[in-house]
């Protein structure tokens, strides 16, 4: 029909003559063809891109809305505190009741919907990405619980000292899974395991990048934390989605007039012409070592406490039946300590998490400032002089920083035991910044005129140390290097790149040597499936063959297996899939059959038997071959495969269960359990 109209140029000309505003028909037709070509190309690129774009934008909007809500709630609390200036008791009550109520509600709400919504979610996501199926973690029910719970947690402010990175990774994954299901229901495509995996990897990147507005480090951090290998094609997807998310997140801030233009989340203003002197590199490396040691101590204590609250009679009882009460009690303790009229004045407790970080990244030297200003604490927090919250005439800034570090060390460990949605990255980042600030202020106190004071005075910038400390400490706790980049992206300055990287490397070297990462530690405590890594010095892993550690007790089914054979195998083993062999003598592997298939086989067979028994006396001779679909085995190990290769394959291909064959015969099977034991055997040889 359309071509017919186009060919009728005569008619068209008449139409054109009527419409004086549409000149150049040929050009317009050309443009039209071009546009259609572009449209076709765009649609051919595949809906993946639309999907990733949507994921980024949705997460950015959620992140922005949550930040907005939380900041309003924090302001309301601050206003209340100011209004109650006269009455100390009322102030104390308002200071403590507010976080208690929020935390108790967060715990109660999240736990009542689903017990899986507690904690950060990254350990579980990491387990899912290794191929283990934890369906309930990605349901949309979980989403609501996590969003509401997290908002309340964050609104409790720096009293609770918790963040949002982990839950955002989890939220993002849930949305990706949901969008994926929606897409496959619309397009009618069959659900694709590897596609799903790709999307989850991208989702993790989006989660990180929408919190910090940091696209590159979002991708890198999620890759480092979540997986042991990654494909460059996934890196692309993550990059695209994270860039969309971060861009949207920052644009929303501009639209909301929070900022004049797109800029870093925690913008700094260091002197970039001379950021640091060469000898300072040494202090940065010492800072890295300090962060590494403190990181080890933190990881050890945290794992110990997580285990202890499950053993201790009192807490275990509370945690099993009255989770909100447990949360409320912890919140009461924390809020009492941070009450600004008591110990809180040495903890800068009036600052929110964001203000804490901004104040620590201050480009000025606090020690110099504190000598030239009155240290009278203002009645309200002064946004341009946040450092005043840290100043104290008796304690000096060194005292407050040290006190902050000591107190927050155990308070944060205690906070991680709370069973509510919360992220643990941001507090670690702030804590690291405080360590860095302390070291930086000390160095600047020792060398007030800079180190090379010949002629030009280049004073030391303690903010740079805070940056390095934040990157090194968070890197050491999470066993990742990309926190260095995260620090630059979040602050918008990259001048300190080399010393920060050195600090992160030193901190990581120490922690990786002595402790598993925060996320691995949680996986171990929560008893999720976990595959330890093979260290490069364990060269025995090349020499140990699959034959020595495989599970040889494999129940096989022949293609001719009868009802009774199947029943016997089913009752004697809990495996999810069974190997099918040609016959029980030759043991040549021909395929596998799922447990669910076998169950159905038994059911239909049973009913047939019933039917036939009533009919006649001839028993049905239905065999496995006829009653079940036998799936082909696309991948198998050989008995000569080394432990190193097997480990590599399990990691690369996210395998869970593999059959081992020798000359085509099945001789065993390997799961992550066998592998784990074999690797542990390498580390502790008898």
Of 75-83, 123-131, 351-359, 586-594, the window that binds its own copies (rule: CB under 8 A) is 586-594
Q: Which of 193, 232, 224 is nearest to 653 (CA)?
A: 193
Q: For strand 589-594 and strand 577-581, is the pairing parallel, antiparallel, or unpaired? A: antiparallel
- With CB under 8 A as the contact rule, the residue among 27, 261, 321, 372 that binds its own copies is 261
**Cα–Cα distance measured from residue 268 to residue 43, given in angstroms and rounded to the nearest whole number:** 42
**Cα–Cα distance measured from residue 357 to residue 268, given in angstroms and rounded to the nearest whole number:** 10
**Cα–Cα distance measured from residue 437 to residue 508, given in angstroms and rounded to the nearest whole number:** 19
Is residue 62 within 8 A of residue 70, CB to CB? The reply is: no
Output the smallest distance, CB 262 to its own copies, in A. 6
240 binds its own copies (CB under 8 A): yes
Of 176-184, 523-531, 613-621, 644-652, the window that binds its own copies (rule: CB under 8 A) is 644-652
DSSP alpha helices (H): ranges in 9-87?
9-18, 25-44, 48-83
Q: Which is closer to its own copies, CB of 523 or CB of 589?
A: 589
Output the smallest distance, CB 537 to its own copies, in A. 4
Q: For the purposes of burial, counting CB atoms within 10 Å of the CB of 105, is it exposed (0-12), middle (13-18) or buried (19 or more)?
A: buried
Output the smallest distance, CB 508 to its own copies, in A. 8
Contacts to its own copies from residues 459-498, by CB under 8 A: 481, 484-485, 488-489, 492-495, 497-498
- With CB under 8 A as the contact rule, the residue among 5, 34, 262, 446 that binds its own copies is 262
Of 23-31, 59-67, 234-242, 387-395, the window that binds its own copies (rule: CB under 8 A) is 234-242
Of 309-317, 359-367, 633-641, 678-686, the window that binds its own copies (rule: CB under 8 A) is 633-641
Is residue 437 within 8 A of residue 468, CB to CB? The reply is: no
Phi/psi of residue 62, each to 5°? -65, -45
Q: Which is closer to its own copies, CB of 1 or CB of 232?
A: 232
> 412: number of CA atoms within 13 Å, CB side?
25
Output the smallest distance, CB 27 to its own copies, in A. 20
Q: Which is closer to its own copies, CB of 531 or CB of 567?
A: 531
133 binds its own copies (CB under 8 A): no
228 binds its own copies (CB under 8 A): yes
Output the smallest distance, CB 187 to its own copies, in A. 11
- With CB under 8 A as the contact rule, the residue among 38, 254, 446, 457 that binds its own copies is 254
> 467: number of CA atoms within 13 Å, CB side?
33
Of 54-62, 200-208, 263-271, 606-614, the window that binds its own copies (rule: CB under 8 A) is 263-271
Q: Looking at residue 581, what DSSP letter applies?
A: E
Q: Which is closer to its own copies, CB of 2 or CB of 260?
A: 260
For 114, 135, 206, the CA distances from 141, given in Å and listed in that order, are: 8, 12, 20
Show Cβ contacts of residue 390 under 8 Å, excluding neighbours closer than 6 positions: 348, 359, 366, 397, 400, 401
630 binds its own copies (CB under 8 A): no
Q: Which is closer to its own copies, CB of 274 or CB of 410?
A: 274
Show Cβ contacts of residue 333 under 8 Å, excluding neighbours closer than 6 positions: 414
Output the smallest distance, CB 591 to its own copies, in A. 9
Is residue 343 within 8 A of residue 250, CB to CB? The reply is: no
Q: Which is closer to its own copies, CB of 314 or CB of 663?
A: 663
Output the smallest distance, CB 464 to its own copies, in A. 12
Q: Which is closer to its own copies, CB of 118 or CB of 218?
A: 218
Contacts to its own copies from residues 523-582, by CB under 8 A: 533, 536-537, 539, 542, 582
Q: Which is closer to its own copies, CB of 31 or CB of 373?
A: 31
684 binds its own copies (CB under 8 A): no
- With CB under 8 A as the contact rule, the residue among 74, 152, 179, 243 that binds its own copies is 243
**Cα–Cα distance measured from residue 218 to residue 242, given in angstroms and rounded to the nearest whole number:** 7
Output the smallest distance, CB 584 to its own copies, in A. 15
Is residue 370 within 8 A of residue 444, CB to CB? The reply is: no
Output the smallest distance, CB 368 to its own copies, in A. 21
Of 89-97, 127-135, 250-258, 597-605, the window that binds its own copies (rule: CB under 8 A) is 250-258
**Cα–Cα distance measured from residue 290 to residue 284, given in angstroms and rounded to the nearest whole number:** 10
Q: Is 558 helix (H, G, I), strand (E, B) or coil?
A: strand
Q: Which is closer to its own copies, CB of 147 or CB of 265?
A: 265
Q: Which is closer to its own copies, CB of 273 or CB of 621?
A: 273
Cα radius of gyration rounded to whole Å, the chain: 31
113 binds its own copies (CB under 8 A): no
**Cα–Cα distance measured from residue 542 to residue 75, given in angstroms and rounded to the nearest whole number:** 60
Q: Which is closer to its own copies, CB of 406 or CB of 652?
A: 652
274 binds its own copies (CB under 8 A): yes
**Cα–Cα distance measured from residue 411 to residue 428, given in angstroms and rounded to the nearest whole number:** 12
Axis crossing angle, helix 140-155 with helix 165-187, rounded to the nearest 10: 160
- With CB under 8 A as the contact rule, the residue among 97, 251, 375, 630 that binds its own copies is 251
Output the smallest distance, CB 429 to its own copies, in A. 18
Alpha carbon 677 to chain centroid, angstroms: 27
- With CB under 8 A as the contact rule, the residue among 71, 114, 139, 281 that binds its own copies is 281
Q: Which is closer to its own copies, CB of 345 or CB of 638?
A: 638
Q: Which is closer to its own copies, CB of 273 or CB of 614?
A: 273
- With CB under 8 A as the contact rule, the residue among 194, 548, 572, 604 that binds its own copies is 194
Q: Which tokens hold the place of 222? A: 């999620």
Output the smallest distance, CB 491 to its own copies, in A. 9
Output the smallest distance, CB 304 to its own copies, in A. 23
196 binds its own copies (CB under 8 A): no
370 binds its own copies (CB under 8 A): no
- With CB under 8 A as the contact rule, the residue among 155, 175, 223, 418 that binds its own copies is 223
Residue with tokens 């330890």: 532
Output the smallest distance, CB 518 to its own copies, in A. 16
- Per rule CB under 8 A, count of chain residues that contact its own copies: 93
Phi/psi of residue 173, each to 5°? -65, -40
Is residue 149 within 8 A of residue 109, CB to CB? The reply is: yes
**Cα–Cα distance measured from residue 603 to residue 619, given in angstroms and rounded to the nearest whole number:** 16
263 binds its own copies (CB under 8 A): yes
40 binds its own copies (CB under 8 A): no
Show Cβ contacts of residue 198 under 8 Å, excluding neighbours closer than 6 positions: 233, 234, 237
645 binds its own copies (CB under 8 A): yes
Count CB-CB contacts under 10 A for residue 144.
16
449 binds its own copies (CB under 8 A): no
For 296, 392, 430, 656, the CA distances from 473, given in Å and listed in that order, are: 10, 26, 9, 34
Q: Is 6 helix (H, G, I), strand (E, B) or coil?
A: helix
Alpha carbon 133 to chain centroid, angstroms: 17
């Amino acid at each position: 029909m359309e071509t017919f109209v186009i060919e009728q140029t005569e008619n068209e000309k008449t139409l054109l003559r009527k419409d004086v505003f549409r000149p150049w028909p040929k050009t317009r037709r050309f443009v039209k063809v071009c546009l259609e070509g572009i449209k076709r190309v765009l649609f051919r690129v595949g809906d993946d891109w639309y999907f990733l774009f949507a994921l980024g934008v949705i997460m950015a909007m959620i992140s922005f809305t949550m930040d907005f809500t939380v900041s309003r709630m924090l302001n309301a609390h601050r206003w209340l505190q100011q209004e109650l200036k006269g009455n100390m008791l009322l102030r104390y009550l308002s200071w403590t009741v507010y976080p208690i109520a929020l935390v108790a509600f967060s715990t109660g709400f999240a736990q009542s919907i689903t017990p899986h919504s507690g904690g950060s979610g990254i350990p579980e996501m990491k387990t899912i990405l290794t191929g283990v199926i934890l369906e309930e973690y990605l349901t949309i029910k979980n989403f609501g619980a996590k969003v509401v719970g997290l908002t309340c947690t964050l609104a409790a402010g720096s009293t609770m000292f918790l963040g949002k990175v982990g839950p955002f990774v989890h939220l993002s994954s849930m949305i990706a899974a949901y969008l994926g299901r929606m897409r496959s229901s619309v397009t009618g495509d069959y659900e694709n395991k590897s596609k799903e995996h790709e999307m989850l990897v991208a989702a993790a990147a989006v989660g990180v990048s929408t919190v910090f507005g940091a696209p590159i480090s979002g991708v890198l951090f999620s890759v480092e934390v979540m997986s042991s290998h990654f494909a460059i094609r996934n890196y692309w997807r993550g990059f695209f989605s994270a860039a969309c998310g971060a861009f949207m997140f920052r644009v929303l801030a501009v639209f909301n007039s929070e900022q004049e233009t797109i800029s870093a989340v925690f913008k700094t203003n260091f002197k970039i012409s001379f950021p640091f002197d060469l000898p300072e590199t040494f202090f940065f490396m010492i800072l890295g070592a300090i962060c590494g040691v403190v990181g080890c101590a933190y990881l050890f204590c945290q794992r110990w406490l997580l285990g202890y609250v499950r053993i201790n009679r009192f807490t275990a009882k509370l945690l099993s039946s009255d989770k909100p009460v447990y949360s409320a009690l912890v919140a009461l303790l924390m809020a009492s300590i941070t009450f600004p009229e008591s110990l809180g004045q040495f903890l800068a407790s009036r600052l929110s998490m964001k203000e804490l970080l901004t104040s620590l990244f201050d480009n000025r030297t606090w020690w110099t400032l504190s000598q030239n200003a009155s240290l009278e604490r203002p009645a309200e927090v002064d946004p341009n002089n946040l450092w005043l919250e840290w100043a104290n005439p008796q304690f000096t800034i060194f005292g407050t920083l040290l006190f902050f570090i000591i107190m927050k060390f155990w308070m944060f460990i205690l906070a991680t035991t709370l069973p509510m949605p919360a992220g643990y990255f941001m507090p670690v980042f702030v804590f690291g910044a405080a360590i860095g600030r302390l070291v930086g202020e000390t160095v600047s106190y020792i060398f007030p005129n800079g180190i090379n004071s010949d002629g030009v005075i280049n004073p030391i910038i303690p903010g740079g140390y805070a940056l390095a400390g934040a990157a090194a400490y968070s890197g050491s706790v999470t066993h990742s290097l990309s926190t260095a980049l995260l620090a630059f992206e979040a602050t918008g300055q990259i001048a300190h790149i080399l010393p920060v990287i050195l600090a992160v490397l030193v901190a990581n070297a120490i922690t990786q040597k002595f402790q598993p990462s925060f996320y691995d530690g949680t996986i171990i405590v929560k008893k999720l499936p976990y595959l330890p890594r093979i260290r490069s010095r364990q060269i025995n892993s090349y020499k140990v063959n699959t034959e020595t550690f495989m599970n040889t007790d494999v129940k096989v089914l022949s293609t001719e297996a009868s009802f009774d054979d199947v029943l016997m195998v089913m009752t004697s083993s809990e495996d999810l899939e069974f190997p099918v062999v040609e016959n029980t003598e030759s043991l040549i592997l021909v395929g596998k059959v799922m447990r669910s298939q076998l169950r159905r086989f038994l059911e239909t067979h049973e009913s047939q038997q019933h039917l036939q028994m009533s009919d006649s006396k001839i028993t049905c001779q239905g065999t496995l071959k006829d009653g079940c679909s036998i799936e082909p085995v696309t991948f198998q190990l050989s008995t000569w495969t080394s432990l190193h290769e097997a480990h590599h394959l399990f990691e690369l291909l996210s395998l869970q269960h593999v059959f081992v064959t020798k000359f085509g015969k099945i001789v065993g099977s390997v799961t992550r359990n066998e592998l784990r034991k074999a690797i542990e055997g390498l580390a502790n040889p008898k």
